[in-house]
Amino acid sequence: MKKKNFYSLWAAALLMMAGGCSEELGEGDDSNGGGDGTGDKAYVTVRISSPSTGARTKAGDKPEGGEGGDGFVQGTVDENYIRDVNIFLYKTEQQQEGAEPDKYLSLETPIVGSGFSEQVDNDPKTPSNNHTPQATVEINIPKLGEKIEYYNILTITNAGEKLTFSTVKQLRDYLFEKQDAWEHGVEREDGEIVTTHFVMSTHTMTLGNDKSVVGLSQANNNPADAPSVTVYVERLAARIDLKLGDENGSYDVATDKVQLTAFSVVNRLKAGSYMFKRVTVPELGNDMDKQPIRTESDGDIYLGDEYWNTEGYYNYVIDPWTRGKKVDLFTADGYTPVSLASHYVDNGEAKTGSTSFDDLYINHFNKELNEKETFVIYGDNLPNAGIGENEGNYGEKGYKLIAYTLENTTGWEQQLNGFSTGVIFKGTYTPKYVIKYSIEENKNESVEYANLEKEDQYFYTTKVTTTQSTQDDDGSTGTTTKTVLYADLKSLLVGSFSDDVNGDIVKLLFGGAGSTTTTVTKEEVEAVVNTLQGKFGEAYAAFVGKNIQESVNISDINYEAFAQTIKPNDAEVLAEKYDIHYYKDGTCYYKYWIRHANNGLNPPDNPNLGIMEYGIVRNNLYKLDVTAIKKLGDPLPFTPGVDDPKNPNEDDKTQYYITVMVYVKDWVIRDNGQIEL
């Protein structure tokens, strides 16, 4: 079914303006909690300044931390569009025009007036070169006199309905419980289907000399005499853009090739978001200090800025589950629900509770990803895909929108694979050479992968690697380890032998019937197979030990007999049981965890993750630029023996295979730098 056509195309800059025309709103009773039913009706013209109009939100050496991130970028027409507006008035303590608004929002401050309008002018004709949507909103408020009274205004846009609250606390702690803080599949007047109606809320009460304070008296009882006030809102959503190295997603890895074909955004928080942004009290220190998140009783700051290395100050952005995300939730049998902070729902009712991982995240990072269809072909994305290419104000050509998501933050020590939002890239890896056992030569040899006669293209690797000695220019020595790709499991097992084993016995076990006439003893066979390395080698040695007789019958213990006990194309079992990685058709996966603020240090130099280093914050644009791929990826989206929700996003064991430049914009840019996979 087609949804309502909602606007003509309009200039999307949405920059703050000094004045403008207005439209009248028809709803004005006080059933939404504002007023006592016996008050006056008044009118206010609200100019709505969205983030792309210069109002800020936030965040290798990028991305840069803090409120400003790596700069700002304008949203599209659809991302900036205002369909409706809710405003809430509460009394300012200082009764003078232009008073500094109260950014800390005292707990039980009553909402004395409110209004709702769907008559929003998204393209007001004003003398200004800038455009800010505006609406004249009818409000119900206690009886006004001749004296002007001053009120602070909090604003929510695109909620789709009139909201009901009686105190600022209820409004401040309101949990927007929908999975999407935007609307998919909306048809514009030009027929294009887009994503729009992004829910926005006040993010600051003041910008420069302009403040969201309005003076009202009985003189403002008709639309023509409505005073004007500017409100500053930002989207609850964050956005992720992706750019591949070339239009085909192809990369060179030494003599090999890899082509990225699809992606899946994991740990996308879907359970909801605080309607208004909140942060912890800034603390003096640096991001290497192990600063835990302050408890809620210490006092959060509402509509506050994020601090990151600003004169040595740091703080956290808080989502409704931030303080409940703990490593001990990942149990041996599954996942313990994440505790949810106290919040309010639409009718002003206070609630708390907990949320299961299935309800908290889209594509939670766990073993179940291997059974789900979560990958999207690069280019077959959301409506508005490719805007980075088509609209110059979105930055460099080549970026494509891949997802919108909600705020998702943790304490520094809980920046784990099971909590942090990331992207898994799916690709096809084509090696130039693989290792294959030669019966004639009785050894493994390098052969061209393209020349192998196989019904399916596949190869294997294992944690048993070839280690070569190296000597630096300064005379120091060391080792480098190279992962070996094998054409089949037989070749992999042969590659697990020590170099000085009895070749005749190897040929007996792996060369097939009639390959040799050498007579061997049980002890000689066991001595050879016991030199095998790795879990797969140990399994074969155990198989031989179980089945060998004093009078050796090779057909009972050779590789062909052992092969009947294993499934050569079960990637999960091979990884979990034998530490073998099976790449059917060369399919592999690269994981990348999205950075919010890079502290510039990686293992082993970095003893701690930085504060807010990994996370998603509202109204940020996370730009991922995959510039290089260094190695073969993993065989599965979630590979047993490699992946674990408890793994830190950075540790000494982390293997960086992808180079990604990330930029985070106002949309606040979070530039994740050059991503190397």
Tens digit of pLDDT for each residue in 253-307? Answer: 999 999 999 999 999 999 999 999 999 988 887 655 667 788 887 778 888 889 8
The single-letter code of the amino acid at 121 is D
- Sort strands 238-243 and 620-629 into parallel, antiparallel or unpaired: parallel
The tokens of 281 are what? 């009290």
**Range with the poorest average pLDDT among 59-68, 179-188, 395-404, 477-486:** 59-68
Tens digit of pLDDT for each residue in 1-45? Answer: 434 343 333 333 332 332 333 222 223 333 334 433 345 788 888
Domain membership of residue 220 (yes or no) is yes
Cis amide leading into 637 (omega within 30) = no
Up-side HSE of residue 559: CA atoms within 13 Å toward CB? 21
Domain membership of residue 498 (yes or no) is yes
Per the model's pLDDT, the better-predicted residue between 57 and 676 turns out to be 676
Query: 596 with 614: CB under 8 angstroms?
Result: yes
Domain end marker among 235, 262, 278 = 235
State yes or no: pLDDT of 628 exceeds 60. Answer: yes
The single-letter code of the amino acid at 88 is F
* Phi, psi (rounded to 5 degrees) for 172: -65, -35
- At 376 the pLDDT is 86
Nearest C-alpha neighbor of 434 from the set 586, 318, 542? 586
Domain membership of residue 660 (yes or no) is no
Cis amide leading into 607 (omega within 30) = no
Please say whether the dihedral angle defined by the alpha carbons of residues 265, 652, 319 and 611, taken in this order, is positive or negative. negative
- At 457 the pLDDT is 86
- At 35 the pLDDT is 38
Domain membership of residue 6 (yes or no) is no
Q: Domain containing 539: what range? A: 433-484+489-567
Tens digit of pLDDT for each residue in 376-399? Answer: 887 655 444 434 343 333 345 678
Q: DSSP label at 55?
A: -
State yes or no: pLDDT of 660 exceeds 50. Answer: yes
Tens digit of pLDDT for each residue in 511-532? Answer: 865 555 557 899 999 999 999 9
pLDDT bucket at 668, cuts 50 / 70 / 90: low
State yes or no: pLDDT of 405 exceeds 60. Answer: yes
Q: Rounded mean pLDDT of the chain? A: 80
| Cα(117)–Cα(85) distance, integer angstroms | 5
Domain end marker among 212, 235, 258 = 235
The tokens of 454 are what? 């196989």
- At 107 the pLDDT is 66
Q: What is the mean pLDDT of residues 201-214?
A: 85
| Cα(106)–Cα(109) distance, integer angstroms | 6
Domain membership of residue 60 (yes or no) is yes
Longest CA–CA separation in the chain, Å: 114
State yes or no: pLDDT of 187 exceeds 80. Answer: yes
3-state helix, strand, coil in the chain (%, to 5): 15, 35, 50
Please say whether the dihedral angle defined by the alpha carbons of residues 612, 614, 618 and 624, taken in this order, is positive or negative. positive
State yes or no: pLDDT of 652 exceeds 50. Answer: no
- At 206 the pLDDT is 81
- Sort strands 206-207 and 210-211 into parallel, antiparallel or unpaired: antiparallel
State yes or no: pLDDT of 499 exceeds 70. Answer: yes
Q: DSSP label at 163?
A: -
Nearest C-alpha neighbor of 114 from the set 42, 63, 209, 192? 42
Query: pTM for the whole thing?
Result: 0.85
Query: 263 with 375: CB under 8 angstroms?
Result: yes
Domain membership of residue 45 (yes or no) is yes
- At 61 the pLDDT is 52
State yes or no: pLDDT of 503 exceeds 60. Answer: yes
pLDDT bucket at 669, cuts 50 / 70 / 90: low
**Range with the poorest average pLDDT among 289-298, 339-348, 413-422, 465-474:** 465-474
Tens digit of pLDDT for each residue in 445-490? Answer: 999 999 987 777 899 999 755 555 555 555 555 555 668 999 999 9
Q: What is the mean pLDDT of residues 328-351?
A: 92
The tokens of 204 are what? 């600051």
- At 498 the pLDDT is 79
Q: What is the mean pLDDT of residues 241-258?
A: 89
Number of domains in the chain: 2
CATH of the domain at 61: 2.60.40.2580
- At 106 the pLDDT is 63
Per the model's pLDDT, the better-predicted residue between 542 and 99 turns out to be 542
Tens digit of pLDDT for each residue in 84-140? Answer: 999 999 887 665 555 556 655 766 789 999 889 888 878 765 433 344 788 888 888
| Cα(71)–Cα(225) distance, integer angstroms | 39
Tens digit of pLDDT for each residue in 483-498? Answer: 899 999 999 999 999 7
CA angle centred on 657, ends 652 and 663, rounded to 5°: 95
- Sort strands 210-211 and 620-629 into parallel, antiparallel or unpaired: unpaired
Query: 85 with 105: CB under 8 angstroms?
Result: no
Domain membership of residue 441 (yes or no) is yes
- At 126 the pLDDT is 47
- At 634 the pLDDT is 96
* Phi, psi (rounded to 5 degrees) for 439: -65, -45
**Range with the poorest average pLDDT among 34-43, 433-442, 536-545, 617-626:** 34-43
State yes or no: pLDDT of 247 exceeds 80. Answer: no
- At 20 the pLDDT is 31
The tokens of 388 are what? 């980075």
State yes or no: pLDDT of 336 exceeds 90. Answer: yes
Domain membership of residue 562 (yes or no) is yes
Domain end marker among 200, 235, 270 = 235
Q: What is the mean pLDDT of residues 149-155?
A: 90
